[in-house]
C-alpha cells in the first residue's frame, strides 16, 4: 500500500516562493556616486570602489574571473580588509581587470600598494637557479611571462650584462657587500646548503652576504641538523611537540638566516661587519634563549640597514618558538644556571619586540603611502 503524499498548503504569493534571483552581473557596472575622496591605501581604495559599484568580494570575483583562473574571492576580501596586498604577477593581472571593470586608470590600484619597493613574485624563469632568480626578478617587467621567448631572452641577457655584471650602483653595492661576507655556512646531507660553493664566483656574486668561507663548527652543525630533522620530519619523536613544519624551501631559507645570525655573532667587532665577536666555538642555539643576544642582533640589523624589516619579525618569531610555554619542562637549571630567567625574559621580550616591530612596519607602510599620495597631489597641482 502506498502512502498518499499530504498536500502542504502554500503560503504567500508565487513570487516569494521562487528561489531568489541573483542580480545580473554587468561587465561595467555604473557607479552609484561619482565624486569621492581618493584614499591613500590600497585596501581603502579597493573597498571604496567596490562600494561605489555595489560589488561584494564574491560578486567581483565572479565578474572578473576568466577560464582557468585559480583565483579565490577570499583573496579579494583580504585585500579589501587591508590584510594582504597583491604581489604576484597573477594578482597584478587581477588588479588590472578590476581597474578595467571600474573604468579606472590603468595602474590606479598598483600605485597605492604599500610595498612598491618589493619585487614581483610568480614570474617563471626555467633553468635559472633560485639564488640568481632572486636577483634577476627585481629587474624584469611584470609582463615578462607574456612576452615571446626571443624577447625574454633579450631582456635576461640585458639584465645580466648591464645590471648584474656592469658598473651600475646595484653592482657596486654587490661588490661592497662581497667584501663584508660574514655568514656561517651550514651543510646538510640532503643537499640543502646554507651557503654556496666558493669556487663558483658567479654564485658568490649572487649571495654576497652568504658567501663566507667559515664552516659551522661541528657542535653547531650538529644542533642545526637536529633542529632541521625535528622541523622537517613528518612526525616528531614521541614526547616532542613543535609549532609548524618546515618544507624544503623554508628549511633552506632558515639555514641561510641562521647562518647570517651566527655569522654576525661571530664576526669581529673591529671589522667592517662590526659583529659581536663571539668565539666560533661558543656558538650554539642555547645563545638564542638570551634576550641580550636578540637585543644586540635586532639593533645590529637596524644599524646595518638603517631600518627594520619583516625579516627581524620573522627571526624573532623563530626565537619565540623556542620559548613556548609548552617547552617549560625542558629547562634544566642544574646544567644551565639562570636559564629559566633567560627563558622567561626571552618570551616576554620577543613577543613585545615582535609587536613593536609589526606596529612600526605598519606605520612605515602607511607613511610611505601618504607621502606618495602627497607627492602625487603636488605633481598634479604643479
Partner 1 sequence: MMGHINNLLIQMVEKHHGSEGVSRLFILARIPKKHYQLEIIYPEEEFQALYAATKEIYGVEDEAAQKAFADYFMEASPVMFPAIFSVAGNARSLFEKIPTIHKQWPAAASAKQFQEKLLILESDEKRLVFKYDSPNHLCGVLRFVAKGVLDHYHEKGTVTETQCALKGAPWCEVEVRFAAS
Verify binding: residue 292, partner 1, rule CB under 8 A: yes
C-alpha separations of 154 from 7, 150, 241 in Å: 75, 6, 51
Q: Are 152 and 144 in contact (CB under 8 A)?
A: yes
State the DSSP code for 271: S
From CA 210, how far away is CA 298, in angstroms rounded? Answer: 18
Verify binding: residue 352, partner 1, rule CB under 8 A: yes
| 152-162 burial: b if 16+ Cβ within 10 Å, else e | beebbeebbee
Of 40 and 275, which has the nearer Cβ to partner 1? 275
Candidate ranges 27-35, 179-187, 196-204, 333-341; the one touching partner 1 (CB under 8 A): 333-341
Among 128, 245, 321, 331, binds partner 1 (CB under 8 A): 331
Q: Whole-number minimum distance, CB 340 to partner 1, in Å? A: 4
From CA 80, how far away is CA 88, in angstroms rounded? Answer: 17
Verify binding: residue 224, partner 1, rule CB under 8 A: no
Verify binding: residue 186, partner 1, rule CB under 8 A: no
Of 167 and 333, which has the nearer Cβ to partner 1? 333
Written as nine digits, the cell of 185 is 655556512
Q: Whole-number minimum distance, CB 328 to partner 1, in Å? A: 6
Of 6 and 334, which has the nearer Cβ to partner 1? 334
Of 145 and 344, which has the nearer Cβ to partner 1? 344
Q: Whole-number minimum distance, CB 181 to partner 1, in Å? A: 25
Cα–Cα–Cα angle for 289, 219, 333, rounded to 5 degrees: 40
Residue span 295-314 as binding mask against partner 1, x where in contact by CB under 8 A, dash where not: xx--x---------------
Q: Whole-number minimum distance, CB 262 to partner 1, in Å? A: 19
Place of cell 604576484: 88
Written as nine digits, the cell of 214 is 667559515
Write out the DSSP string of 278-347. Answer: --GGG--GGGGG-HHHHHHHHHHHHHHHSS--HHHHHHHHHHHHTT-GGGGGG--TTTSTTHHHHHHHHH
Of 137 and 361, which has the nearer Cβ to partner 1? 361
Verify binding: residue 338, partner 1, rule CB under 8 A: yes
Give me the residues that bind partner 1 (CB under 8 A), please: 291-292, 295-296, 299, 325, 328, 331, 333, 338-345, 348-349, 352, 356
Amino acid at each position: 500500500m502506498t502512502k498518499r503524499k499530504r498536500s502542504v498548503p502554500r503560503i504567500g504569493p508565487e513570487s516569494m516562493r521562487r528561489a531568489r534571483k541573483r542580480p545580473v552581473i554587468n561587465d561595467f557596472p555604473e557607479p552609484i556616486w561619482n565624486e569621492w575622496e581618493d584614499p591613500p591605501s590600497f585596501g581603502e581604495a579597493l573597498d571604496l570602489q567596490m562600494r561605489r559599484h555595489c560589488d561584494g568580494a564574491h560578486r567581483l570575483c565572479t565578474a572578473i574571473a576568466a577560464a582557468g583562473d585559480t583565483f579565490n574571492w577570499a583573496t579579494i576580501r583580504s585585500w579589501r580588509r587591508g590584510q594582504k596586498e597583491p604581489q604576484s604577477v597573477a594578482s597584478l593581472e587581477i588588479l588590472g581587470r578590476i581597474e578595467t571593470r571600474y573604468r579606472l586608470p590603468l595602474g590606479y590600484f598598483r600605485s597605492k600598494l604599500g610595498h612598491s619597493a618589493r619585487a614581483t613574485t610568480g614570474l617563471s624563469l626555467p633553468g635559472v637557479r633560485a639564488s640568481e632568480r632572486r636577483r634577476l626578478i627585481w629587474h624584469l617587467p611584470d609582463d615578462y611571462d607574456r612576452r615571446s621567448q626571443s624577447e625574454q631572452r633579450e631582456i635576461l641577457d640585458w639584465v645580466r650584462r648591464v645590471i648584474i655584471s656592469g658598473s651600475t650602483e646595484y653592482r657596486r653595492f654587490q661588490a661592497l657587500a662581497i667584501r663584508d661576507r660574514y655568514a656561517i655556512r651550514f651543510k646538510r646531507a640532503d643537499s640543502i646548503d646554507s651557503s654556496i660553493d666558493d669556487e663558483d664566483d658567479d654564485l658568490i656574486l649572487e649571495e654576497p652576504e652568504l658567501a663566507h668561507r667559515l664552516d659551522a663548527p661541528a657542535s653547531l652543525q650538529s644542533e642545526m641538523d637536529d633542529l632541521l630533522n625535528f622541523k622537517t620530519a613528518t612526525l616528531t619523536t614521541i614526547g616532542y611537540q613543535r609549532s609548524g613544519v618546515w618544507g624544503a624551501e623554508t628549511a633552506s631559507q632558515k639555514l641561510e638566516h641562521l647562518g647570517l645570525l651566527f655569522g654576525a655573532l661571530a664576526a669581529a667587532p673591529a671589522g667592517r661587519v662590526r659583529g659581536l665577536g663571539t668565539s666560533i666555538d661558543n656558538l650554539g642555539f642555547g645563545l638564542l634563549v638570551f634576550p641580550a643576544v636578540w637585543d644586540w642582533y635586532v639593533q645590529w640589523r637596524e644599524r646595518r640597514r638603517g631600518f627594520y624589516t619583516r625579516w627581524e619579525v620573522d627571526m624573532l618569531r623563530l626565537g619565540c618558538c623556542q620559548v613556548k610555554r609548552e617547552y617549560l619542562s625542558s629547562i634544566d637549571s642544574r646544567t644551565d644556571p639562570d636559564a629559566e630567567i633567560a627563558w622567561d625574559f626571552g618570551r616576554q621580550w620577543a613577543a613585545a619586540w615582535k609587536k613593536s616591530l609589526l606596529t612600526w612596519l605598519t606605520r612605515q607602510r602607511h607613511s610611505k603611502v601618504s607621502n606618495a599620495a602627497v607627492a602625487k597631489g603636488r605633481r598634479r597641482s604643479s
